[in-house]
Amino acid sequence: MRGAALFTYLSAMKLRRLAPLLFLVCLSVYTQAQYTTNPMLNTRWTSFGLGANSSDNFSYQLFASKSTFEETVSTTVRAAYSQELFEGQDDSIFFRKNRSLEVGVLWGQVWGRNNLFLAASAGMGVTLRLYGDSALQVIDQFVYKAGVTIGVPAQIEMGYLSKKGGLSLMLTGNWNFREPYYGALICYTRKLSMK
């Protein structure tokens, strides 16, 4: 249990240190691209990812999204599945894993140069959470509950994009009322079309 908690703590510290640097990179790219035609204009792409997030102490996440950038705004439809990897010390059920499934629609901005891109977006989403709840840590006295909540998903994706495929790093999060989280994913990206 202590190893999982230490790993979660170290992962959170690395993401907290990376956030200001990522903000400066975004700001720099935005100011440089402000007065030029965006090469990502009228581009559609998909991303499929695998990563980890802070939900339920530490969870793995499977991720898929489809994005379109037109005129002035990007639109992304995303779906994600998270499942608890390590139980916390305060976890009331040790034999069932907490899970969540989310879908969302996000709007944002995309910057690109050659086949490199940076996309930042936020929006609205719905999360279905399956979790165990028990006042007593006894195997035969528990309730496995399902709860639905609305949330604010957000993501920053940067990487290489082409028709043959590419890779990207995605920082993702979801602020919701049941289990907010932040995390990172490695994604396979593929350009669908360019008008």
pLDDT at residue 158, as a whole number? 94
Query: Measuring CA to CA, how many Å separate 182 from each of 10, 38, 50, 175?
Result: 14, 29, 14, 9
Q: Assess whether pLDDT exceeds 90 at residue 46.
A: yes
3-class secondary-structure state, position 165? coil
The pTM is what?
0.73
Tell me which of 185 and 147 has the higher pLDDT: 185
Residue in this structure with the two tokens 């991303």, named with its chain if needed: 47
Give the architecture (CATH level 2) of 2-194: Beta Barrel (2.40)
pLDDT at 26: 65
Q: Which residue has the tokens 């305060």?
A: 90
Mean pLDDT of the chain, nearest integer? 81
Residue the block writes with tokens 């010390």: 89
Contact between 101 and 62 under an 8 Å Cβ cutoff? The reply is no
**58-79 residue pLDDT tens:** 899 999 999 998 878 889 999 9
More confident residue, 47 or 18: 47
For 87-109, the pLDDT digits (tens) are 766 665 666 788 899 999 999 99
Question: What's the residue count for the chain?
Answer: 195
pLDDT tens profile 109-128: 988 888 888 999 999 999 99
- In this prediction, residue 14 carries a pLDDT of 61
